[in-house]
Structure 1
Amino acid sequence: MRRTVVRTLPALLLVAVAAGAPWIAPHAVDAPVTAPYAPPGTDGAPLGGDQLGRDVLSRLLSGGGELIATSVVVTVLVTGLAAVLGTAGALRPALGRIVERTADVLMLLPAVLGILLITLSWPDGGRAAVITAAVALGVPYAVRLVAAAAAPVAATGYVEAAVAGGERLWHLVVREVLPNLRSTLLVLFGLRFVAAVYLVATAGFLQVGPQPPTADWALMIRENAPGILLNPWAVVAPSIAIGLLAMSVNLAAAALAPQTGRKAVAVQ
């Protein structure tokens, strides 16, 4: 129990900081408080200033909220769609072949190209476009894992008995197979969250997601890259934050999954 708490604590702290940023940030995120790219400690800015002289620490504390929220939405949608499609494909081989061939084609699309194609063709772009792009790029990988995990369950006697009893596909998916894949889906959630953070951050770096002057970690990296030699923390701090977010949530998901579930996923 103590080990689980220790592993989930970093993720909870990051979420708490992102939620409480408006109250704990020392300065307004859009107000210049120092000279552009000022070094740490100047004018009450512990991490210095960014390209417009705004407090890097305040923008760092406030920049994770949208990234976390968007990544959670993407992860829930990807995991849910993959769970349904992968399980249905395992129960209906003809449908499974269609799902797998479609997934194979979508997996050939490079992530950056996929993000640009979807977001730039989306009316007004924005958060909805980024979520759509991340879901479209994430489902093919997740559905393959779920289908592999669901296949042995679909071949068990109680599922075959339910099929013989005339149960509908939806009942088989929701009541017979998915309850036996809880640990696999929980680990998958952690893995897909890491991928979602990467995709959402990539969209922010390409400026097809959040737009200036929004405080966003990926956007901070892009905006402050020209002055990395003047104030490295304007780029290094948000980079570390993105890495810590991805690792902490993945660690928490793995800690909450039963030991047998983790072993099963490792074998697959």
Structure 2
Amino acid sequence: MSVFVIGYYTILIAASCLAVYFERRRVFMLLFSLTLVSFVAGIIGGVGALRTITTLAAVLSLAAGVSYAFKEFLVQIARPGLARELRTAPLTAAFGMFVIFTYAIAGIFAPWIAPHGQAEVISTSFAPPDANMLLGADQLGRDIFSRIIYGARNTVGLALAATILAFVMGAFAGLLAAVKGGWFDQFMGRFADVIMSVPSLIFALLMLSIFGTNLFVIVVVVAVIYSPRVFRLTRAVAGNVVVMDYIEAAKLRGEGDWYLIRREILPNSTAPLVAEFGLEFCFVFLLIAGLSFLGLGIQPPTADWGSMVRENATLISFGDVTPLIPAAAIALLTVAVNFVVDWMLFRSSGLKG
């Protein structure tokens, strides 16, 4: 038995005993469960499996430490009211906010962070990583690392623009339908049902095949696809608010529809709508990445994570994981946004941990 294996189990068992001594039940259950899993994995996979578990545990510990530090940083710079809310945020939400912050910095400062241009050919096709290219070159000899950095600006920026447009269209229509009622409410509801009945990917492929694949068309088509979802939620939330007594009092005072929406209904519907914005962003982001993968999204030579997966898929046949990096960037942002949305939904539900 190697020194690594002895030290590995000694640290786990000692940490478990300390957790019991200090009455940290959750920590003990986590550590001792890890010990049992490691014991089984060590029997099946040997030392290699234990080294893999150690690496994963180190990565998770690093992520937890960074998340905690970032949360404390936000608490220190936030206003007192927001700081109190941030103190109650779980580490998963803090991790999500840190990832979103990192992606935002990469997108905003892409020309200064990326060592090369997104369309600049600097090497041969599929050149291996070196001191000049951190992740190697793609099928045309462009720096993959630089294109991933620019992809944070292009893919995320386009998804954010489409989400904002979808949210504005859907939320405004939902609020107006709740206030107007009658035939307008019925018409908007049936129109939303018709759009939602068509699969989003098929609808997007059809519209982009007809109108082209420039950025404006992509934003409008994606916004039309997802605005009915925002409409349904907004209509449901606003429908619960519009029957309140203070709304009736405002109507008796002679207030117009715009006043009711702006001053009465919208402030009382903000929490679920903000959470819905995060969810809609994930759906839009994944759809745009999928369209780019199919060749109908962001067009070359503009860097885009979806098209990068397609362009470098040949490398997977040779055991190179480089094409998985943009796919991992897509997955990481989606998970991070969902972590933040889950926390916001928990807060808006009124539950206390």
TM-score range (shorter-chain normalised) is 0.7 to 0.9
Match 2:312 to one of 215, 220, 224: 224
Structure 2 partner of 1:147: 235
Structure 2 partner of 1:127: 215
Q: Is the 8 A contact 1:107 1:137 kept in 2?
A: yes
1:70 to 2:158 alignment = yes
Offset at residue 205 of structure 1 (A): 1.8
When normalised by structure 1's length, the TM-score is: 0.87
1:160-175 correspondence to structure 2 within 5 Å: 160-175=248-263
Match 2:109 to one of 11, 14, 20: 20
1:96 to 2:219 alignment = no
1:10 to 2:99 alignment = yes
Structure 1 partner of 2:15: none
| 1: CA distance, partners of 2:96 / 2:349 | 15
Match 2:348 to one of 255, 261, 266: 261
Structure 2 partner of 1:110: 199
- Report which stretch shifted further, 84-93 or 136-145: 84-93
Offset at residue 135 of structure 1 (A): 0.6
Q: Is the 8 A contact 1:220 1:234 kept in 2?
A: no
Percent of pairs with identical residues: 32
| 1: CA distance, partners of 2:331 / 2:176 | 34
| 2: CA distance, partners of 1:166 / 1:118 | 44
Offset at residue 45 of structure 1 (A): 2.6
Offset at residue 145 of structure 1 (A): 1.1
- Segments of 5+ residues of structure 1 without an aligned counterpart are none
Match 1:59 to one of 139, 147, 151: 147
- Report which stretch shifted further, 216-225 or 127-136: 216-225
Which has the higher Rg, Structure 1 or Structure 2? 2
The verdict on how the C-alpha distance between 1:6 and 1:61 changes in structure 2, with shifts beyond 3 A counting, is same
Q: Is the 8 A contact 1:49 1:56 kept in 2?
A: yes
| 1: CA distance, partners of 2:273 / 2:339 | 14
Q: Deviations over 1:154-196 (max 9, x none)?
A: 1100001122333222222222101101111110110111111
1:87 to 2:175 alignment = yes
Say which SS state the counterpart of residue 109 (structure 2) adopts.
Answer: helix
The verdict on how the C-alpha distance between 1:204 and 1:262 changes in structure 2, with shifts beyond 3 A counting, is farther
Offset at residue 66 of structure 1 (A): 1.4
CA RMSD of aligned residues (A): 2.3
Offset at residue 203 of structure 1 (A): 2.4
Match 1:136 to one of 224, 228, 250: 224
Q: Using CA pairs under 8 Å that are at least 6 residues apart, name the structure with larger relative contact order, 1 or 2.
A: 1
The verdict on how the C-alpha distance between 1:145 and 1:69 changes in structure 2, with shifts beyond 3 A counting, is same
Structure 1 partner of 2:269: 181
Offset at residue 11 of structure 1 (A): 0.4
Structure 2 partner of 1:204: 292
| 2: CA distance, partners of 1:101 / 1:14 | 38
Aligned residues: 261
| 1: CA distance, partners of 2:309 / 2:345 | 37
Q: Deviations over 1:87-137 (max 9, x none)?
A: 222223322221111111100111122112222222x53001100111111
| 1: CA distance, partners of 2:198 / 2:107 | 32
